[in-house]
Structure 1
């Protein structure tokens, strides 16, 4: 088993295979597989690989996972989370190292080789960082992904980032109409190394803490290619007179064909003082919004449940007020305005299982519409053993799953209609000023 400070240097020396792989990567940074023999590398173990598509450059850095044997002495290797290094000349790297590194190349045509010695690998990565300083964050992210893949991160900060992760993930599903974009983005997230404490390698658990200002949103841990300083809707929706100074902001942009999704993050509090996470998703083709408020469920014995509190009551009242003031009283004027439900206010109940790096899956939780929530909390709603209200999977059987909710909003079946920009701005302001972290996801029609 290679140590954490080793890696592979792979040269794709077969023209046809090399061209196919390059087309696959450049068409969307998709994972790809190849068959190699690396005996000192355990099955399913994540490693870091440097990829060369000529014998004179290092072109990409990626994660590599060893799979099952496919031919004699060779295993399937899956490469993912690629970062484009911009064809760094090997000669430039060797001049920094005072050592020839071509001898470490694993040639894909021969499919045999080994990991690079730890000291050489560490020096090689530092040399690449020196040549590509703008990519240091992404390179460190891959190192963190390898280190904490399979871990569950706990703590108050992890709880908030877990909710932000769920909000971003469902936004990507709604936007794309499937889970492929979400899987690619979420599985590439990793924490900053200095924020992980109380590491237990046996139990694969750790605590997330000490997040610095500017690095405390989930968006800061995804690939840098999705991040940008500012985007088109930022000033229209996320600024207003007398706005409370932001603790942190962030903008990420995702593309699918000629459509794009802008995701804006705003939080006026440090994570330890953040009261929750809200998602406001605007679907421009159908001119609808949904607001999803996230709640964490806890384990109590054999049950996973959420116990309603005064904060939930206040938040429901705020939702009721906005629903009644924004609901369109006019009849529909187009096909796109038709809804199965024009109530865009939803609560998502998420079992608190810890934040998991290198995973593209959403947690299986419950989407509960505002009206159904009132029933669950009312006199005729389900009660716990002591007669109090509690939210459980069995007690709320009419919830929507992740896929049901995403498909319904994507197709315009549920959500408000006829909402104007000023209404969205007012809603963002109200929920932001309540002490929540806000993700505003705006999907364009072109």
Structure 2
């Protein structure tokens, strides 16, 4: 075990930390970078001492209350760095003096016996102290393998940050959760996602702490699109979640082949509230010499065929009327197809963030691709973070999708059934996400202060 951090809080600060743990299962704090030297990720011990009014019964003066994982964030002052502590396991208020008594004297004499500033524990001392804690607490003993596996996962990602198709599957699932319930809802569900293993290649199946269902248990009546029903044989993974208003979201991973053999990922989102489809085609920005991430359509053997199909579908849909029978039928535009360009950067099971990327409506993409702006010095078509047309970020796209401002009209939705069936028939991976019917729902895209929070806040409070 590598070095650990020990955080020790007293009084009102301890009460605030305890409240955060109870409400969110995690908290943020600041430490002195020069003294603690926080790592990107490491074990964290937490000690809390409340004011007298919060003490009940005979409790130790100084105890270890939680064991978790800390992750290093940004600088908040010249020598202060923010850390986030999550995956917390309750140790049951273990008296530190009793731990010292059970440790070899050469290690026990180095353990602090009172509160103070955050400290760093060297590797040997970390192992001895954790061993003593596990000897006193069954919950910590049972939870340590999970902490170790998550630390190992983060270490692997640090060595090899580039990911494969599973990164886009994850983003499609997270986009659905963000759109359906907002930032806090997404983070609550993703908290505690299981690390990737050989037996859990599907991201949906890594949400084992939530309501993951076997294919035969899914109520497919809830995921029936107008005139179209998903076959059991097409389901690779599935999950159903319910928000605070009782509305249900069903997400399906339709996969004809193992992940490594599929040609790509699509996200197809259907909203019963707005009778609308939105279809997203993922494209990978690949790092080239100099580290710049670029997508070059000429190097993508699938691009021409996919673009032709999307344009043909858009042309067919454009011939259909767009009758506005109610306010929910209104759209800002006629585009139902979007590209998402993003880098396939792996994220750990502790990270609830979305994949940074740009959503570009098909109509804008066609205009851009036919312009000189899209051409490189040698005349090749390219897109990168510095050279791209107008686009939506994660937050804006999810908000427009959630509120029905984008997507197909009711008449177009019926025609899109045929397109979806054709996509399923192809040898590729597809994420289907559908909401249950219902008109009455609150605006869950807003936070407690009435703001729509940014989805890319790696160590934010929300």
Per the normalisation by structure 2, the TM-score is 0.67
Contact 2:205 2:237 in 1 (8 A): no
**The one of 81, 84, 89 aligned to 2:86:** 81
Root-mean-square deviation over aligned CA pairs: 5.0
> Which residue in 1 is equivalent to 2:279?
291
Alignment of 1:241-280 (within 5 A): 243-244=232-233, 248-251=236-239, 253=241, 255=243, 261-280=249-268
> Which residue in 1 is equivalent to 2:393?
401
Question: Do residues 110 (structure 1) and 116 (structure 2) align?
Answer: yes
Change over 3 Å in CA distance of 1:80–1:273 after alignment to 2: same
**The one of 221, 228, 234 aligned to 2:212:** 228
Change over 3 Å in CA distance of 1:38–1:382 after alignment to 2: closer
Alignment of 1:99-138 (within 5 A): 109-111=115-117, 114-115=120-121, 117-120=125-128, 123=131, 131=139, 138=146
Contact 2:29 2:82 in 1 (8 A): yes
Change over 3 Å in CA distance of 1:140–1:382 after alignment to 2: same
Distance in 2 between residues matched to 1:88 and 1:79, nearest whole Å: 21
Distance in 2 between residues matched to 1:305 and 1:277, nearest whole Å: 16
The C-alpha deviation readout for 1:90-113, integer Å capped at 9, x for no partner, is 59xx99x97699999878843465
Higher-strand-fraction structure: 1
Question: Do residues 344 (structure 1) and 350 (structure 2) align?
Answer: no
> Any unmatched runs of 5+ in structure 1?
193-210
How far is 1:138 from its partner?
Answer: 4.5
> Which residue in 2 is equivalent to 1:202?
none
> Any unmatched runs of 5+ in structure 2?
49-58, 442-462
2:302 partner SS: helix
Alignment of 1:60-79 (within 5 A): 61-63=68-70, 65=72, 78-79=83-84
**The one of 173, 176, 186 aligned to 1:171:** 176
Distance in 1 between residues matched to 2:257 and 2:118, nearest whole Å: 52
1:368 partner SS: strand
> Which residue in 2 is equivalent to 1:370?
362
Change over 3 Å in CA distance of 1:390–1:172 after alignment to 2: same
Change over 3 Å in CA distance of 1:135–1:240 after alignment to 2: farther
> Which residue in 2 is equivalent to 1:29?
25
1:399 partner SS: coil
Change over 3 Å in CA distance of 1:274–1:19 after alignment to 2: same
Distance in 2 between residues matched to 1:149 and 1:69, nearest whole Å: 26
Change over 3 Å in CA distance of 1:86–1:361 after alignment to 2: closer
Distance in 2 between residues matched to 1:268 and 1:79, nearest whole Å: 39
Contact 1:44 1:66 in 2 (8 A): no
Distance in 2 between residues matched to 1:343 and 1:102, nearest whole Å: 66
Alignment of 1:161-240 (within 5 A): 161-176=166-181, 192=196, 212=198, 214-219=199-204, 225-226=209-210, 228-229=212-213, 236-237=222-223
1:440 partner SS: strand
Contact 2:72 2:84 in 1 (8 A): yes
The C-alpha deviation readout for 1:408-445, integer Å capped at 9, x for no partner, is 22332111233899888766554344233323333456
Distance in 2 between residues matched to 1:377 and 1:312, nearest whole Å: 12
Further displaced range: 279-288 or 254-263 = 254-263
Per the normalisation by structure 1, the TM-score is 0.69
Contact 2:283 2:342 in 1 (8 A): yes
The C-alpha deviation readout for 1:172-201, integer Å capped at 9, x for no partner, is 443355x56667777977854xxxxxxxxx
**The one of 139, 142, 145 aligned to 2:150:** 142
How far is 1:340 from its partner?
Answer: 0.8
2:164 partner SS: helix
Further displaced range: 325-334 or 402-411 = 325-334
Distance in 2 between residues matched to 1:332 and 1:46, nearest whole Å: 52
Question: Do residues 333 (structure 1) and 339 (structure 2) align?
Answer: no
The C-alpha deviation readout for 1:228-265, integer Å capped at 9, x for no partner, is 2358655643896865465x414264746655654433
Contact 1:9 1:50 in 2 (8 A): yes
Change over 3 Å in CA distance of 1:245–1:173 after alignment to 2: closer
Change over 3 Å in CA distance of 1:375–1:52 after alignment to 2: same
How far is 1:145 from its partner?
Answer: 5.7
> Which residue in 1 is equivalent to 2:4?
7
1:438 partner SS: strand
Contact 2:285 2:343 in 1 (8 A): yes
Contact 1:46 1:66 in 2 (8 A): no
Question: How many equivalent pairs are there?
Answer: 409
Question: Do residues 307 (structure 1) and 291 (structure 2) align?
Answer: no
Distance in 2 between residues matched to 1:411 and 1:280, nearest whole Å: 16
How far is 1:297 from its partner?
Answer: 2.6
Change over 3 Å in CA distance of 1:68–1:329 after alignment to 2: closer
The C-alpha deviation readout for 1:339-364, integer Å capped at 9, x for no partner, is 01243211112245x42546665555
